[in-house]
A and B are shown apart, each in its own frame.
Chain A
Amino acid sequence: AEEFSLMYPFFYRPMFEVIEDGWNSFLPKDAFKDLESMTDEWRLSEVNKDFSVCPSYPPLVAVPKDVDDDTLRKAATFRHSGRFPVLSYYHKKNGMVMMRAGQPLTGTNGRRCKEDEKLINATLRPGKRGYIIDTRTINVAQQAKARGGGFESEANYPQWRRIHKAIERSNVLQESLIKLVEACNDQSHSMDRWLSKLEASSWQTHVKEILTTACLAAQCIDREGASVLVHGTEGTDSTLQVTSLAQIILDPACRTIRGFQGLVEREWLQAGHPFRQRCAQSAYSNSKPRQEAPVFLLFLDCVWQILRQFPCSFEFSESFLVLLFEHAYASQFGTFLGNRTAERAKLSLPEKTVSLWSWVNRPQELERLSNPLFEANSLVIWPSVAPQSLLLWEGVFLRWNRSSRCLDEAYEEMVHIIEYNKELQNKVNSLRRQLAQLETEDPLLQTP
């Protein structure tokens, strides 16, 4: 813990008034209350309260009501890093759920685990089938068997249909980010060179693959009326990209500022995405740390793509995404420190550092981050994943390469148009009130 105690968040003292302590804003038990209001099929288990069953899970996780803690313990021994299947999202519209986990440890001789099967089958309605979305290609998943991992076989999971997608692993993604940033910094002014470097970076390919997989998960839940289990290898990277993006697509609450914070808390911080390892050095690193990877940045990029396609459906603007990107890599706040809840608890982050959410959830900051075009949209939003529809996220990748003055001016102009309209509405409304008052006060003016 020594390497931590010298970090900036431990010395930073807020120069602003904390209205709401962000460390308490998104506790699992509060999230569970929302779930309880919709269904009684789930319970909050304390099986991991001392982080012994799964070190990267929070102390409280939502699991099917009929599955006891012993079953969970056994299922945990069958999943990578003890990441047994837990609830990620409940789709209110049809009661279908999305779960996430680590890969099953079937190994080469096809080990099975009755408790694991029981656990995930407990989430299916009678006679219904579910989908398992494995974020790896079938080949990669096969190879994982040699190292003790694997995937759910049809024989042992007859009620589940497995779909393999191809989201790349972290080292590939890091390589991609380095190439992309290099391409953006290229000064050669040659169009061919730019396009070929952009293509060679594969960044947009990853964006497309991740978004497509998330859309698929959302489609299974909303359109097929099926429950879904998502996993890759560890269940801490591509799995979280998919489960969190699927929620953006399905759940309007995740498209609000507060809801998005809750999503990042639930699906990234509490779900054990190792931020310290993944977001240590970003694109400019000579040493190429093995664990470094822009997994979270890719998630934010995908959210930005959806935001561009549904510019009126998000309460927050692009600046919120950029802010999260920056704070994930370097921050005066303690929110993104550490790799998992257990580590954060050990470091007493809530006591010793300030939460990013404490900063964000103040009126002036909320106003800065909010999207003036927002109109609550309660529907599922299906983005296009065609290459023509996916753009380079200029706000992040070209931020320091070109002036954004003209685009900023356009944004101000847009805000001005909307505010002027509101101002006039208020004027007209207050005039109407005054006149209504006059009418009641002066009976002479009343029309017969």
Chain B
Amino acid sequence: MEHIRLPKVESVRLLDRVSPRRSRVGTLYLTATHTIFVENEAGVRSETWVLHSLVCSMEKQAASASGCPLIIHCKNFQVLHFVIPRERECHDVHLSLQRLSQPETYEELYCFSFNPNVDDEERRQEWDFLDLKADYRRMGLPNSLWKLSTVNQHYKVSDTYPADLFVPESATPPVIVGSSKFRSRGRFPTLSYYSKENHAAICRSSQPLSGFSARCLEDEQMLEAILRSNPRSDFMYVVDTRPKWVLAAGSAGKGYENEDNYSNIKFQFIGIENIHVMRNSQQKMLEVCELRSPSMSDFLEGLESSGWLKHIKAVLDAGIFIAKAVAEEGVSVLVHCSDGWDRTAQVCSVASVLLDPYYRTLRGLMVLIEKDWVSFGHKFSHRCNHQVGDPKEVSPIIDQFLECVWQLMEQYPCAFEFNERFLITIHSHIYSCQYGNFIGNNQRERIELGLRERSHSLWSYLWTNQADYMNPLYRPDHSQAQGLLRPSTAPYCFKFWRGLYNRFDRGMHPRQSVEDYLSAIQEETQQLEEQLASHKQVGQNLSCLSFSETKTTTTFDKSPTAWALGTDLGLANTPQDYTGGFITSSPCQPKVPDSSLILQDLNQTPETNLSNGSDQESGIADLSCRSPLSEDSTRDPDSDEAAYSAA
């Protein structure tokens, strides 16, 4: 690879962030796709893999006697603190990674080289797994009130919208086209969610180009058509998700709907801040997460001044307003911000999760992200910085949506079919570029890139591995899994999402996972049910019974925690630095032999390796936050080295 200035550096140290005295020495390899750190000490081999596309930023610090520190911040919030012996080497690694982590063309993205060995037919099935038309059918569309419009075929009306859109039955092409000319980027009002029960709908668009007094007859007709598509309601809400002061400040040409010009609308401002505020806010919060042994005050003050939870609350509040308008008042809502691809996507999708239990299922959440985010043109490539671009376009808008879902899961533990790991895995892959789903900024770009033919779909991967992402407390018939969620948004209901933002600081997570314990119990229960059924079936067939007898004894002797936790607690749990450096004679922790239970998927290719680190503090926490990314993997000494020796 032309960009790799130095494929291998020996005697590199990887520092442990929580206790810096505990560092590992090994060899650093740069490959076409990954940075790999291999620790090989006393026969114990441990590997840390980092995808280049996950590298967010790097910090090369001044060299000291012990070497030259290089700190790598990843988009999945992993932070790696390397110390490279020589300045020159550090410089080369730095430059190489800078280039490798910032592809200049789409062609360089990892999804085009990631090859999980499936044939074209299987690949086609992967992509056909989610069908948005099926979701509209599920909502009962098309019907006598809403129709599928062909107006945006070949992306002629709005190049950032999907080709298939639902519009009111009475909206004629001239009205749609007229309205689109009055809206930023041609993003005219169109349907996002429709409630079969009471005909209320959530529609979305960009802002009207009303300026100070301009009006557009077709746009007014368009809103009138939306209103009429909800026969039981005599008014509709228009929600502008921006803070009012933004518009009071007045920028020429842009604006909001004037209640005098649109009949029967109720206009509502909801103050969600813009992408720049959100980017800075997350940055500040991450700085707090990365503090080395912060005091409680450092942490809480930092969290407050980052404003992050305030913004999460604003998004959720907006979602609740809309969900209640639809479910409780039966009133349709048109939502927009400026372009209608950031705040609008957040608010529409949060409202959908609150409204419809389907979106709280594994498949439903995938459909929702595919619909409100991917198809409606959330600019993933720009927002997630998939390739070199304008840093001012980067913003964690999708992170905030995932976090809103997580906050809801904390309040409603039985309402969601999926678990936290599911959200974290999705988050990782939005940034990893391993799958084609989140490449490009809109549907038109994805078609042009031929992603369906040249890359793979995350959704079918997640579906295949659904056992990892199931919430054991979920039951489809549980009361929490029914109807509208009415969460509390009192400030104390919002928690810091340690599982995502401090995901790689394993010592911080609970050492035993209730969820994994319950999942193991459920698995055992299922086996018992099968045995019971077979016992009844075979009746008196003794040979069969004596067979299952041996099977049952082996099953029951095992404690469920041993299953769930995978490793011995004693090996996995070691004290933190409680002393503030007082005790210096602290003995070295005994080396932990590789446990085969940590290694989940040895037979997978490195790219899809599920396994995590062998750090002694990690064993248990690992299982609760593993991802199919090849992050920090411990592998068998015999495993193939082809992947990085090819570099």
Residue ranges of A at the interface with B (Cβ–Cβ < 8 Å):
163, 184, 189-196, 198-199, 202, 204-205, 207-208, 212-213, 215-216, 218-220, 223-224, 308-313, 373, 375, 377, 379-382, 384-392, 394, 398, 401-403, 406-407, 409-410, 413-414, 417-418, 420-421, 424-425, 427-429, 431-432, 435, 438-439, 445, 447
A373→B520 CA distance, assembly (Å):
12
Please pick, from B488, B490, B493, B512, the residue contacting A312 in the complex, using a CB distance under 8 A: B512
Inter-chain contact B552/A224, CB cutoff 8 Å: no
A193→B479 CA distance, assembly (Å):
34
Question: What would 5 more interface pairs be, CB under 8 Å, given A205-B295, A384-B508, A402-B492?
Answer: A163-B579, A199-B301, A224-B583, A311-B514, A373-B514
Inter-chain contact A425/B521, CB cutoff 8 Å: no
Q: Does B585 contact A (CB under 8 A)?
A: yes
Q: Which of A212, A409, A429 has the most CB of B within 10 A?
A: A409
Inter-chain contact B491/A190, CB cutoff 8 Å: yes
Inter-chain contact A382/B525, CB cutoff 8 Å: no
**What chain A residues lie within 8 Å of B522 (beta carbons)?**
417, 421
A208→B508 CA distance, assembly (Å):
13
A216→B532 CA distance, assembly (Å):
51
**What chain B residues lie within 8 Å of A205 (beta carbons)?**
295-297
Interface segment, B3-11, B231-239, B541-549, B596-604? B541-549
A215 to chain B, nearest CB (A): 4
Q: Does B212 contact A (CB under 8 A)?
A: no
Complex A-B: 20 CB contacts under 8 Å: A189-B490, A191-B307, A194-B492, A195-B304, A216-B578, A220-B583, A308-B510, A311-B513, A373-B514, A380-B573, A386-B508, A387-B296, A387-B299, A406-B414, A410-B413, A414-B514, A421-B522, A421-B524, A435-B549, A447-B542
A388-B498, A398-B492 known; A413-B510 Cβ under 8 A: no
Inter-chain contact B542/A389, CB cutoff 8 Å: no
Interface residues of B in 575-603 (CB under 8 A from A): 575-576, 578-579, 582-583, 585-587
A41→B498 CA distance, assembly (Å):
46
* A-contact bits for B409-435, CB 8 A (1 contact / 0 none): 001111100000000000000000000
Please pick, from B491, B510, B582, the residue contacting A311 in the complex, using a CB distance under 8 A: B510
Inter-chain contact B573/A432, CB cutoff 8 Å: no
For residue B309, which residue of chain A has the nearest CB? A191
A126 to chain B, nearest CB (A): 19
Inter-chain contact B18/A386, CB cutoff 8 Å: yes
Inter-chain contact A199/B543, CB cutoff 8 Å: no
A382→B512 CA distance, assembly (Å):
12
B270 to chain A, nearest CB (A): 14
B443 to chain A, nearest CB (A): 36
**What chain A residues lie within 8 Å of B413 (beta carbons)?**
406-407, 409-410, 413
Main secondary structure of the interface of A (DSSP, over half): helix
A421→B558 CA distance, assembly (Å):
14
A191-B310, A199-B304, A387-B298 known; A219-B583 Cβ under 8 A: yes
Inter-chain contact B532/A431, CB cutoff 8 Å: yes
Please pick, from A224, A380, A413, the residue contacting B475 in the complex, using a CB distance under 8 A: A413
Please pick, from B473, B488, B518, B532, the residue contacting A427 in the complex, using a CB distance under 8 A: B532
4 smallest beta-carbon distances between A and B, as pairs: A194-B491, A387-B299, A410-B413, A195-B304
A191-B313, A194-B491 known; A417-B521 Cβ under 8 A: yes
Inter-chain contact A424/B507, CB cutoff 8 Å: no
* A-B CB contacts (within 8 Å), total count: 209
Q: Does B329 contact A (CB under 8 A)?
A: no
B417 to chain A, nearest CB (A): 13
Interface residues of B in 464-501 (CB under 8 A from A): 472-473, 475, 478-480, 488-496, 498
A386-B505, A388-B502, A424-B532 known; A413-B576 Cβ under 8 A: no
Inter-chain contact A313/B298, CB cutoff 8 Å: no
**What chain A residues lie within 8 Å of B549 (beta carbons)?**
432, 435
Q: Does B540 contact A (CB under 8 A)?
A: yes
Inter-chain contact B529/A424, CB cutoff 8 Å: yes
A191-B309, A195-B309, A406-B411 known; A424-B528 Cβ under 8 A: yes
**What chain A residues lie within 8 Å of B585 (beta carbons)?**
224
B480 to chain A, nearest CB (A): 6
**What chain B residues lie within 8 Å of A387 (beta carbons)?**
294-296, 298-300
How many B residues touch A, CB cutoff 8 Å? 83
A208→B296 CA distance, assembly (Å):
7
Inter-chain contact B289/A202, CB cutoff 8 Å: no
**What chain B residues lie within 8 Å of A438 (beta carbons)?**
540
**What chain B residues lie within 8 Å of A382 (beta carbons)?**
573-576
B539 to chain A, nearest CB (A): 10
A345 to chain B, nearest CB (A): 38
Please pick, from B295, B514, B575, the residue contacting A215 in the complex, using a CB distance under 8 A: B575
For residue A184, which residue of chain B has the nearest CB? B492
Inter-chain contact B491/A310, CB cutoff 8 Å: no
Residue ranges of B at the interface with A (Cβ–Cβ < 8 Å):
18, 289, 293-301, 303-304, 307, 309-310, 313, 411-415, 472-473, 475, 478-480, 488-496, 498, 502, 505, 507-514, 517-518, 521-522, 524-525, 528-529, 531-532, 535, 540, 542-543, 545-546, 549, 552, 556, 559-561, 569-570, 573-576, 578-579, 582-583, 585-587
**What chain A residues lie within 8 Å of B313 (beta carbons)?**
191
Inter-chain contact A215/B578, CB cutoff 8 Å: yes
A302 to chain B, nearest CB (A): 13
A425→B479 CA distance, assembly (Å):
28
A385→B576 CA distance, assembly (Å):
8
**What chain A residues lie within 8 Å of B493 (beta carbons)?**
402
A380→B552 CA distance, assembly (Å):
32
Inter-chain contact A223/B296, CB cutoff 8 Å: no
Please pick, from B489, B498, B525, the residue contacting A189 in the complex, using a CB distance under 8 A: B489
A110 to chain B, nearest CB (A): 24
**What chain A residues lie within 8 Å of B479 (beta carbons)?**
409
A413→B531 CA distance, assembly (Å):
24
A274→B57 CA distance, assembly (Å):
55
B517 to chain A, nearest CB (A): 6
Inter-chain contact B514/A195, CB cutoff 8 Å: no
B8 to chain A, nearest CB (A): 35
A191-B313, A199-B300, A388-B289 known; A401-B514 Cβ under 8 A: no
**What chain A residues lie within 8 Å of B517 (beta carbons)?**
311-312, 373
A379→B307 CA distance, assembly (Å):
40
Inter-chain contact B579/A219, CB cutoff 8 Å: yes
A189-B491, A409-B414, A424-B528 known; A309-B475 Cβ under 8 A: no
**What chain B residues lie within 8 Å of A212 (beta carbons)?**
578
A117→B433 CA distance, assembly (Å):
67
Inter-chain contact A402/B488, CB cutoff 8 Å: yes
Inter-chain contact B561/A445, CB cutoff 8 Å: no
**What chain A residues lie within 8 Å of B496 (beta carbons)?**
388
A384-B508, A406-B412 known; A421-B489 Cβ under 8 A: no
A413→B289 CA distance, assembly (Å):
33
A74→B309 CA distance, assembly (Å):
58
Inter-chain contact A406/B480, CB cutoff 8 Å: yes
For residue A213, which residue of chain B has the nearest CB? B578
Inter-chain contact A224/B586, CB cutoff 8 Å: yes
Inter-chain contact A421/B528, CB cutoff 8 Å: yes
B61 to chain A, nearest CB (A): 24
Inter-chain contact B556/A386, CB cutoff 8 Å: no
**What chain B residues lie within 8 Å of A417 (beta carbons)?**
472-473, 518, 521-522, 525
B300 to chain A, nearest CB (A): 4
Please pick, from B473, B478, B524, B569, the residue contacting A414 in the complex, using a CB distance under 8 A: B473
**What chain A residues lie within 8 Å of B512 (beta carbons)?**
309-313
Q: Which of A309, A386, A398 has the most CB of B within 10 A?
A: A386
A398→B491 CA distance, assembly (Å):
12
Inter-chain contact A375/B559, CB cutoff 8 Å: yes
A132 to chain B, nearest CB (A): 12
Inter-chain contact A191/B587, CB cutoff 8 Å: no
A81→B518 CA distance, assembly (Å):
50
A418→B573 CA distance, assembly (Å):
26
**What chain A residues lie within 8 Å of B514 (beta carbons)?**
311-312, 373, 414
A319 to chain B, nearest CB (A): 16
Q: Which of B309, B512, B556, B559 has the most CB of A within 10 A?
A: B512
